[in-house]
Amino acid sequence: MRLLVFARAPVAGQAKTRLIPALGAEGAARLHGRLVRRALEAASGSEAGRVELWCSPDCGHEFLQDCRRTFGCRLHRQPDGNLGERMRGALEADLPAVLLGSDAPGLTAATVRAAADALTRGNDCVLVPALDGGYVLIGLAVPAPRLFEGIGWGGSDVLEQTRRRAVDLGLRLVELPPCPDIDRPEDLVHCPPELLRGLMPER
């Protein structure tokens, strides 16, 4: 079992840009770095498989190299393409695999373990829904390239489109309880206080 974390380098002005109005460019990038570490802690703490960090735009940033040293994870450059093409390429490189985003601090080691277990119990696909209509984790036990085709990435019905596609493909799908992700200023209410420490501007 492979456990994949998707993340970009925490460069100010390039990471978590939708949070810049609330945190500033530097604060948004620092929060992103903390969220990536939180995701790696969940993946490694699950003890459910080999942890891999799939990086964008490449693996050279010192933060990503430090994650490799701290968590013992393998680094890979994300494939080219849209989000679906990148996820599909990373997942189907070697199945079964679970992929989690780096913006859902509520994803715990127990959740990652439950997702991995779902794939070993005869299910083809596992999802953890997000509260905004997407999902924060996907796992596959079998190749399903069409699961990622024609999806309106970034929209509010990504999860529903994916559900329908899974049904059309005859995949045995299981969903775990939903989890919020941190994309926009209004999402910060779901962020643990320790991750925001020192980042919120003075009022």
The overall average pLDDT reported for the chain is: 95
Q: Residue 154 has what pLDDT?
A: 84
- Crossing angle of helices 20-46/62-71, nearest 10°? 30
pLDDT above 70: residue 199: yes
Per-residue pLDDT of 1-12, as tens digits, reads 999 999 999 999
Measure the CA–CA gap between 112 and 64, rounded to whole angstroms: 21
Total length of the chain? 203
CA 153, CA 150: separation in Å to the nearest integer?
9
Nearest to 132, CA basis, from 11, 18, 14: 18
C-alpha 135: how far from its chain's center?
9
Q: Show me where the domains of the chain are located.
A: 2-179
Sign, CA torsion 14/103/124/174 = negative
Instruction: Report CA-CA distances (Å) from 191 to 32, 34, 44, 187, 200.
Output: 11, 11, 21, 7, 12
Label residue 35 by pLDDT band (50, 70, 90): very high
Judge whether 127 and 167 are in contact, CB under 8 Å.
Answer: no
- The percentage of the chain sitting over the pLDDT mark of 90, rounded to a whole number, equals 95
Model confidence pLDDT, tens digit, residues 165-176: 999 999 999 999
Whole-number Å distance between alpha carbons of 147 and 17: 28
Q: Residues 194-202: contacts with CB within 8 Å, 24+ apart? A: 195/31, 195/34, 195/35, 195/38, 195/105, 196/31, 199/23, 199/27, 199/30, 199/31, 200/22, 200/23, 200/27, 201/23, 201/24, 201/27
Kindly report, residue by residue over 109-136, the tens digit of the pLDDT: 999 999 999 999 999 999 999 998 999 9
> For residue 155, what pLDDT is reported?
85
Q: Residue range 80-94: average pLDDT?
A: 94
- Average pLDDT over every residue of 137-160: 94
pLDDT of 202 higher than 60: no
User: pLDDT confidence of 49, banded at 50, 70, 90?
Assistant: very high
pLDDT at residue 137, as a whole number: 98
Helix 109-120 vs helix 20-46: crossing angle, to nearest 10: 50
HSE of 13 in the Cβ direction (CA atoms, 13 Å)?
Answer: 0
Residue 82 has a pLDDT of: 94
pTM of the model: 0.94
- The pLDDT of residue 201 is 63
Specify the CATH number of the domain 2-179.
3.90.550.10
Alpha carbons 159 and 130: distance in angstroms, whole number: 8
Q: What is residue 135's predicted lDDT score, i.e. its pLDDT?
A: 96
Q: What is the mean pLDDT of residues 89-117?
A: 96
Q: What is the pLDDT of residue 156?
A: 87
